[in-house]
Amino acid sequence: MQESYDPAAVERAAQEHWDGSGTFAAREIPNRPKYYCLSMFPYPSGRLHMGHVRNYTIGDVLARFMRMQGRNVLQPMGWDAFGLPAENAAMQNGVPPARWTRENIAYMKRQLRSLGLGIDWRRELATCDPEYYRWNQWLFLRMLEAGIAYRRTGIVNWDPVDQTVLANEQVIDGRGWRTGALIEKREIPMYYLNITRYAQELLESLETLSGWPERVRLMQANWIGRSEGTEISFAYAGDLERQMGGPGALKVFTTRADTLFGATFMAIAAEHPIATAVAAGDPRIAKFVADCGRGSVMEADLAVQEKQGLRTGLHVLHPFTGRPIEVWVANYVLMGYGEGAVMGVPAHDERDFEFATRSGIPIETVVKSASGAYDTVVAPWQDAYGEHGITVNSGEFSGLGFQAAVDAIAAALEARGIGRKRVQFRLRDWGISRQRYWGCPIPLIHCASCGDVPVPDEQLPVLLPEDLVPDGSGNPLGRTSAFFACACPKCGGTARRETDTMDTFVDSSWYFLRYASFDNAQAMVDERARYWMPVDQYIGGIEHAILHLLYSRFWTKVMRDLGLPSVDEPFSNLLTQGMVLNHIYSRHPAEGRRQFFDPAQVTTSERDGTVRHTATLPGGEVVEVQYDGLGTMSKSRNNGVDPQRLVERFGADTVRLFVMFTAPPEQTLEWSDEGVLGASRFIRRLWTAVHEHVRAGAAAPLDVGALNEGQKAMRRIAHQTLAKVTDDIGRRRTFNTAIAAVMELLNALGRFDDGSPQGHAVRQEAFGIVITALSPIVPHVCHVLWQALGHDRALIDEPWPAADAAALVQEQIEISVQVNGKMRARVGIAAGADEATVRGIVLADERVQKFIGAASPRKVIYVPGKLVNVVV
């Protein structure tokens, strides 16, 4: 037994025990309640970062806790191994993405193992392994058969210099990140998954996800964006009819059919067929449409750009009044949503109001508030009235409330066959085609005579060649005939293989099912998935609140509907962990790019009230740097903290303790080097305290009936702590307060200097509680200290103890006393005292009397066992 704490030795011993006895190898055990604990698998970027450490520690704490609570736990790990960073690294270093990725996996796996996570490593998978991605391809073909996967065109960012499609991330201020060229939008053929078919179910079953944070459910609901509205067809006026070469109608979708009589313009997207037709004969419109075709496709960019529009001079007719309404081409109308056209009602829509005011379009009020407070005609200096109200100036539909007006107008439109009520979702179908190399090949073959032919199942997987090195211009698969040259499966003629690969969100949409069927070479998933699914606890970053989680929910449902062993919802409980932030320091040299500095290397000084930050350049020159606030740790900002160095210096337990203690899991965590020292100090103090206790000799059996007041009090604290930790970890997931409670218990044990045999027995029990309670968080040191306390069985195999209710009983309790809501006194009362007794004691108290004075109590509020408020 070591007298001084040696983290490396302790962690080696504990990990050797767990590995040697196969502690974390999970098996399906029919009659034990299972607990599938899953952390979002990492992208193998090269090194573990603090966000990973936080994520996997949270998962490990829960997995170990639930295991001790008697659950049959599965905690697997894998690698989200396809993606853009591998191609970027390949371009920089000339190394194929496959090699870079596999080397990173090997290194990061060693790092993960050093953290002492209770993972069943037999189930490890990497999405770049053909044994994994073959099932992406297989299921894609099933989706194609089921009509869930289909082909159509989509718009991408096009770099005209590199002749390549760019990811949104690679577009900076509308320019290509490598070429600096102005980005264009380009329409190309792509494959889509029909997630909108599932929109209603995805929305409805959010309500069943009671184990998900409310905010994530809200975000998903808003993302799916169900709105009930009316589709209205506006017939072409004569001028538009001539332009389009015949009669027709402009279709719009609106949630405000009640404002139909206030429509004073129509706005169509630049990509709308009418805009295209008009542009052919009008250079101004053509230029405007072309301008809209520049820049990135990102919605955030589109939303902040100034609302612009041009009048076409062409009209549609109001369905009830027959009045001509002018059609405008506008950059703020999205072709991808609804019909790509909207009716403009400036009086009752903020955006339309802004556009109309600037463009000199008339504003006509057709809704007034029910109270009549807002019933004048809107003038340009006023604002749009967007609330629901009573219709006015709306012909036969005047004087109706919102719903009545919508119903009546929709019915009248429907009777004439020019409109109907329908539901519109904001959610769009999922485009999965990527014009990139390092991803899962889409299993299709293009044949000049047969068209798009699916790759037959027996030819799967379509193997991705692993020796290519991308160069930034186009997809290298498209230049590799060994990959794309193939025979058509139907006619046998010369054909070309699809060179697009799948979105990496596909890979991560079902990996949790594969962990349960990890060694099955014959099927994507098998019956074992029914045992383990759904995931009982999923843990990952809040940044995945919408896309990854929504795609996974969709994919799981598709697998269910295709008859595979799957579930309705993949994740019963979700914990969204906050980001790990660190300070950012940078400077702009006179020439070249902005430089970022490692916060650990920045010196901060203060003189005359001015704070200065300085850093030393590689050449030795000391320069002033600016503080840019807190931000996520990233390589590009040079503010990452390497977990590996901390583990080597302090041990994994210290790092785990720090990340769990510093902030509750859902909150952002600000990095602090000093905090790590504090965590290390606490573990050493625990080590010393346990060894001092053990040196005092073996403890007598605890006789709870024979304890004196001091011993009872000590025992009460120990059991209160146990109850609190059990609740904090098991229910509240506030690991920080669990740790704080154990710290208090250890402090109390330090003050408890009872040398009697029963005192020693109380201490033995309390140290056992300290070590057990901390063991999910700092498992190595607790494993070893548990042995030091004289136990033979490994702590991880012990059941989680229940707090002794008898030990928690308190005879005397303290009541807080307020006078007029202000804290004035504390009084001790017997635990069972009734309200009258408590009132008597409180009102008789001289401190209370002082504040009441001559006044008589008007009201006395009593919160049993807690507080009395005397109102005078």
- Cβ atoms of 689 and 774 within 8 Å: the answer is no
Q: Least Å distance between CB 292 and RNA?
A: 16
Cβ-based nearer residue to RNA, 214 or 591: 214
Q: Least Å distance between CB 335 and RNA?
A: 13
Site string for RNA, 488-527 (x = CB under 7 A): ---------------xxx--x-------------------
Distance CA 688, CA 804 (A): 27
Structure-block tokens of residue 839: 């009132």
Residue ranges with strand state E in 331-381: 341-344, 367-368
Among 9, 290, 303, 808, binds RNA (CB under 7 A): 303
Cβ-based nearer residue to RNA, 427 or 773: 427
- Cβ atoms of 368 and 374 within 8 Å: the answer is yes
SS3 state at 233 = strand
Distance CA 130, CA 138 (A): 12
User: In the Cβ-directed half-sphere of 727, how many Cα atoms lie within 13 Å?
Assistant: 9
852 forms part of the interface with RNA (CB under 7 A): no
| DSSP tag of 732 | I
Q: Least Å distance between CB 254 and RNA?
A: 17
Among 21, 93, 153, 168, binds RNA (CB under 7 A): 168
CB under 7 A: which stretch of 101-109, 381-389, 606-614, 679-687 binds RNA? 679-687
Among 153, 200, 222, 849, binds RNA (CB under 7 A): 222
CB under 7 A: which stretch of 68-76, 440-448, 479-487, 658-666 binds RNA? 658-666
Query: Which single residue is written with the structure tokens 């059996």?
Result: 701
Alpha-carbon separation of residue 521 from 130, 135, 211, 365, 524 (angstroms): 11, 10, 33, 67, 8
Cβ-based nearer residue to RNA, 139 or 190: 190
Among 131, 241, 466, 744, binds RNA (CB under 7 A): 744
734 forms part of the interface with RNA (CB under 7 A): yes
Cβ-based nearer residue to RNA, 391 or 433: 433
Cβ-based nearer residue to RNA, 160 or 492: 160
Name the residue among 644, 641, 642, 650 with its Cα closest to residue 11.
650
CB under 7 A: which stretch of 398-406, 440-448, 562-570, 675-683 binds RNA? 675-683
Site string for RNA, 853-872 (x = CB under 7 A): ------x-x-x--xx-x-x-
Among 63, 166, 285, 633, binds RNA (CB under 7 A): 166
Cβ-based nearer residue to RNA, 794 or 827: 827
The residue type of 624 is: E
Cβ-based nearer residue to RNA, 202 or 252: 202
Q: Least Å distance between CB 712 and RNA?
A: 20
Cβ-based nearer residue to RNA, 327 or 669: 669
- Cβ atoms of 868 and 860 within 8 Å: the answer is yes
Please work out the total of residues on this chain that contact RNA, with binding judged by CB under 7 A.
100
Instruction: Please state whether beta strands 324-330 and 265-268 pair in parallel, antiparallel, or not at all (unpaired).
Output: parallel
Cβ-based nearer residue to RNA, 35 or 43: 43
444 forms part of the interface with RNA (CB under 7 A): no
- Cβ atoms of 660 and 58 within 8 Å: the answer is yes
Cβ-based nearer residue to RNA, 97 or 565: 97
CB atoms within 10 A of CB 430: 21
265 forms part of the interface with RNA (CB under 7 A): no
Range 173-212, binding RNA (CB under 7 A): 190
Show the DSSP H helices in 620-734 as ranges: 643-650, 652-661, 673-695, 709-727
Cα torsion for 433, 434, 435, 441, to the nearest 10°? -80
663 forms part of the interface with RNA (CB under 7 A): yes
Site string for RNA, 382-421 (x = CB under 7 A): ----------------------------------------
Name the residue among 328, 318, 325, 322 with its Cα closest to residue 289.
328
Cβ-based nearer residue to RNA, 61 or 285: 61
607 forms part of the interface with RNA (CB under 7 A): no
Distance CA 698, CA 723 (A): 26
**Which residues pair with residue 813 across a beta bridge?**
829
- Cβ atoms of 5 and 684 within 8 Å: the answer is yes
Cβ-based nearer residue to RNA, 365 or 726: 726
Structure-block tokens of residue 344: 């403009």
Q: Least Å distance between CB 414 and RNA?
A: 28
Structure-block tokens of residue 506: 């596909």
- Cβ atoms of 692 and 755 within 8 Å: the answer is no
- Cβ atoms of 228 and 254 within 8 Å: the answer is no
Q: Least Å distance between CB 815 and RNA?
A: 9
Q: Least Å distance between CB 23 and RNA?
A: 29
Structure-block tokens of residue 633: 């740790």
Distance CA 9, CA 711 (A): 35
- Cβ atoms of 312 and 285 within 8 Å: the answer is yes
Cα torsion for 771, 772, 778, 781, to the nearest 10°? 50
Cβ-based nearer residue to RNA, 525 or 657: 657
Range 526-585, binding RNA (CB under 7 A): 542-548, 579
Q: Least Å distance between CB 506 and RNA?
A: 10
Q: Least Å distance between CB 19 and RNA?
A: 28
Distance CA 391, CA 369 (A): 9
Q: Least Å distance between CB 463 and RNA?
A: 20
**Positive or negative CA dihedral for 499, 134, 56, 728?**
positive
667 forms part of the interface with RNA (CB under 7 A): yes
Q: Least Å distance between CB 354 and RNA?
A: 10
Range 773-832, binding RNA (CB under 7 A): 814, 816, 818, 820-824, 826
434 forms part of the interface with RNA (CB under 7 A): yes
600 forms part of the interface with RNA (CB under 7 A): no
Range 308-367, binding RNA (CB under 7 A): none
User: In the Cβ-directed half-sphere of 242, how many Cα atoms lie within 13 Å?
Assistant: 6
SS3 state at 261 = helix
Cβ-based nearer residue to RNA, 463 or 871: 871
b/e sequence 350-360, b meaning 16+ C-beta within 10 Å: ebbbbbbbebe
Range 78-107, binding RNA (CB under 7 A): 80, 82-85
| DSSP tag of 731 | I
The residue type of 134 is: R
Q: Least Å distance between CB 821 and RNA?
A: 3
700 forms part of the interface with RNA (CB under 7 A): no
Cβ-based nearer residue to RNA, 420 or 635: 635
Cα torsion for 562, 563, 564, 566, to the nearest 10°? 90
Q: Least Å distance between CB 494 and RNA?
A: 27
Name the residue among 382, 169, 355 with its Cα closest to residue 267.
355
Among 214, 306, 519, 606, binds RNA (CB under 7 A): 214
Q: Least Å distance between CB 92 and RNA?
A: 15
670 forms part of the interface with RNA (CB under 7 A): yes
Q: Least Å distance between CB 159 and RNA?
A: 11
Name the residue among 77, 54, 59 with its Cα closest to residue 539.
59
Q: Least Å distance between CB 518 and RNA?
A: 20
Among 219, 286, 829, 833, binds RNA (CB under 7 A): 219
Cβ-based nearer residue to RNA, 645 or 731: 731
- Cβ atoms of 816 and 791 within 8 Å: the answer is no
